[in-house]
Structure 1
């Protein structure tokens, strides 16, 4: 996240400000760019390729709503974007998001522009959030339907469990017997993990009172 420049920061002291928020959702085949201005805007000169030279449509907040960014220990909290998902009007978007590969794990970015009470821009547009789209659900009926998209920060989105295992290591290295050995130990089997596996036998308590487990040969 970048900081506001001096001009934008100074404008915050005014009694009335009219900020404009920009959102970019990197959906494959149908990227969404929208803003909260009264008319569509074409930002230039920021040096940000996701912002400059792209039209950000002025959309009614009824159809697009971006939740607040809340900070917590370890990064920002989950962010929710609510999009229109009306059958008939938004069929293209509904079709695209039907395939999670088109949006899941892809970037979502937010910017804001500070304007004074007359609508004049004060300072540069500030980038204040980048996250990654992780999940969505569709709520409502055919005449009042919304797409609720959950966006996570980098630290959260890419720290999920990988569900990977080392038990298939021999698929890559046929000589690696560590997986078979680990399974054998877990099942109380001793000896070579490939041959002559026999269950361990309880020989009874030893003089120290603990149980003595020995291999049965």
Structure 2
């Protein structure tokens, strides 16, 4: 997990901030990309191939539930994410989700951006969490779809625990508390979208088919 850049950190001191979360689930044949601003956004200029040139469907922040990201010695805990209000899941999509080979062990990524009270983005994208899907539940009807996914780190998803850690400096140098500081910072800078400061993004509705989504850098 990366930390916010200097502009985003400065914006966090404001009395009202409006974070926006972006999610990418690499489902084979039909990847899911969405964001919590309430409006579909075309991302560009970040240098991240999983973001640039991709449109992230806008859903409301109240339709997203992401468990807290807890960092500890040895790595981070598993994360669960439930995305509601997605476009309706047709038979083809349901068939893909019903086959674990299409999603199990594939990448899932979460990012966060910070907006001020005027919905202007402050700073760039923070890579909030990256892992691999290990469990997935889904449901849907003509009104929309729901996907609930469990995401784990590489070691948890693909191997047995090694019990190794790079955060044991204090064992060799009692005055080196960098591991404690890193864990505290990581845990202190993560937040569930359901607890957004300042309420919603201020955008309503979404973009239907055939309408070009605005670029993030244009907002």
1:118 matched to which residue of 2?
A: 118
Say which SS state the counterpart of residue 131 (structure 2) adopts: strand
Residue 157 of structure 1 corresponds to 157
Task: Report the alpha carbon displacement of residue 80 of structure 1 after superposing the two structures with TM.
Answer: 0.8
2:79 is aligned to 79
Q: Name the residue aligned to 2:132.
A: 132
Is 1:23–2:23 an aligned residue pair? yes
Q: 1 or 2, which has the higher helix percentage? A: 2
Deviates more, 1:140-149 or 1:74-83: 140-149
The structure whose RCO (Cα within 8 Å, separation 6+) is larger is: 2
The TM-score with structure 2 as length reference comes to 0.65
How is 1:157-196 mapped onto 2 (pairs within 5 angstroms)? Answer: 157-160=157-160
Q: List gaps (5 residues or longer) in structure 1.
A: 162-217
Q: Which moved more, 1:121-130 or 1:11-20?
A: 121-130
| Residues paired across the two proteins, number | 160
Q: Helix, strand or coil for the counterpart of 1:94?
A: helix
How far apart in 1 are the matches of 2:43 and 2:85?
27
In structure 2, the gaps of 5 or more residues are 162-219
Using a 3 Å threshold, how does the CA distance of structure 1 residues 109 and 63 change in structure 2: closer, same or farther? same
Aligned residue number for residue 89 of structure 1: 88
RMSD of aligned alpha carbons: 2.8
Bigger CA radius of gyration? 1
The CA distance in 2 between the partners of 1:85 and 1:122, in whole Å, is 27
Per the normalisation by structure 1, the TM-score is 0.65
Deviations 1:35-91 (A, max 9, x none): 0013111111110000011000102356543332122331111111224599x9313
After superposition, the C-alpha distances for 1:175-196 in whole angstroms (9 at most, x for unaligned) are xxxxxxxxxxxxxxxxxxxxxx
Task: Quote the Cα distance in structure 2 between the aligned partners of 1:140 and 1:39.
Answer: 21
2 CA distance for matches of 1:145 and 1:119? 27
The question of whether the paired residues in 1 share the 8 Å contact of 2:38 and 2:61 is answered with no
Q: Which residue of 2 aligns with 1:69?
A: 69
**C-alpha separation in 2, matches of 1:144 and 1:125:** 28
Q: 1-side partners of 2:103 and 2:51: how far apart?
A: 19
Q: Would you say the 8 A contact 1:104–1:135 is kept in 2?
A: yes
The 2-side partners of 1:152 and 1:69 are apart by 11
